[in-house]
Amino acid sequence: MKIARRLLLIALLVTATGLRAGPPIDRFFTASDGVKLHYLEAGSGEMTLVFIPGWLMPAGIFDKQIEELSRAHRVIVLDPRGQGLSKAPPHKLDAISRVRDIDELLTQAQVRDHVLIGWSLGVMEVLEYSVRHQRDTLRAMVLIDNSIGMGRPPVSAPGKPQRPLQPEEFRAYVKRFAAGMFKTPPPTGWLEAIEASATQLPPKAAWALLNKPYHRDFYKKAALQAQLPIWYAVTPRFEEQSVELLQNQPRASATVFEQAGHALFADSADRFNQSLQKFLERLR
């Protein structure tokens, strides 16, 4: 079953990312604790854009960014441990290990000047990275659609279960969760790829990934004390937090994507990519 699911995931990712002249390269490395991790790489350039997907999501979710942005930059997208084609037993899924993986990825891929781009759970991991592992070659951070500890705590998404789920219940929840991230239908194969990635972990382990070990003030402090540019790209749910960020972080900018779902970089891909390009131009 595990082999079949892995083959399905590979096939679906190829389907979802195969409509480009130069598809990304699959690469693997072994983390310091022995976990085998996967990432996608495409393009070249002086600046490397390093994407960190959200909760349970595969690297291929950033297909439209890989395709467009790799024309001018080196683009790397990590499959966080336990997601996509990256493996990990439940006892090695803690937040510290996942953040350390980002640092080890940069070493393994020989990344120099770079921008870290985190989406959803990846926002928390990028902010934690900026506190614990920040390198001199980190030029900026992009934080996509999650709380950064400012304003009022966001209300939990409707329909989020309040108890541990059995495998079949969890699979049904993942289907709803994946479909609900988009306001426009995603390309063929995306929802199946997301489900294959999201359901490879036991439900209890998957749910535990959302239990961050720090108070929300940790992330607020990380964002406000960062000595580098930040672009906060959000849906209206986090607009209040974007206002507070702009009022208190002189190097921050923000964009609200009113017509997009949580996967705003897919729903509004052209606008997102163009806005990111403009942000990158200001780093020169």
The pLDDT score that the predictor gives to residue 17 is 44
The pLDDT score that the predictor gives to residue 182 is 96
The pLDDT score that the predictor gives to residue 166 is 85
Q: Are 218 and 241 in contact (CB under 8 A)?
A: no
Written as tens digits, the pLDDT of the chain (284 aa) is 443 444 345 444 544 444 344 689 999 999 999 999 999 999 999 999 999 999 999 999 999 999 999 999 999 999 999 999 998 998 899 999 999 999 999 999 999 999 999 999 999 999 999 999 878 999 999 999 999 999 887 776 666 665 667 888 889 999 999 999 999 999 888 899 888 888 888 888 998 888 877 889 999 999 999 999 999 999 999 999 999 999 999 999 999 999 999 999 999 999 999 999 999 999 98
The Cα–Cα gap between 15 and 18 comes to 5
Structural domain for 76, as ranges: 2-281
Q: Are 80 and 102 in contact (CB under 8 A)?
A: no
The pLDDT score that the predictor gives to residue 42 is 97
Q: Are 199 and 172 in contact (CB under 8 A)?
A: no
Number of folded domains that form the chain? 1
Q: Are 172 and 198 in contact (CB under 8 A)?
A: no
| Residue whose tokens read 């208190």 | 248
The pLDDT score that the predictor gives to residue 164 is 65
The pLDDT score that the predictor gives to residue 284 is 81
How far apart are the two ends of the chain, measured CA to CA in Å? Answer: 49
The pLDDT score that the predictor gives to residue 165 is 77
Nearest in space to 123 (alpha carbons), one of 273, 266, 241, 205: 241
The tens digit of pLDDT for each residue in 104-136 reads 999 999 999 999 999 999 999 999 999 998 789
The pLDDT score that the predictor gives to residue 136 is 92
Query: What phi and psi values does residue 17 have, to the nearest 5 degrees?
Result: -120, 10
What pTM does this model have? 0.90
Instruction: Report DSSP letters for 86-114, one per residue.
Output: ----GGG--HHHHHHHHHHHHHHTT--SE
CATH of the domain at 191: 3.40.50.1820
The pLDDT score that the predictor gives to residue 28 is 98
Query: What phi and psi values does residue 138 have, to the nearest 5 degrees?
Result: -75, 115
The pLDDT score that the predictor gives to residue 15 is 45
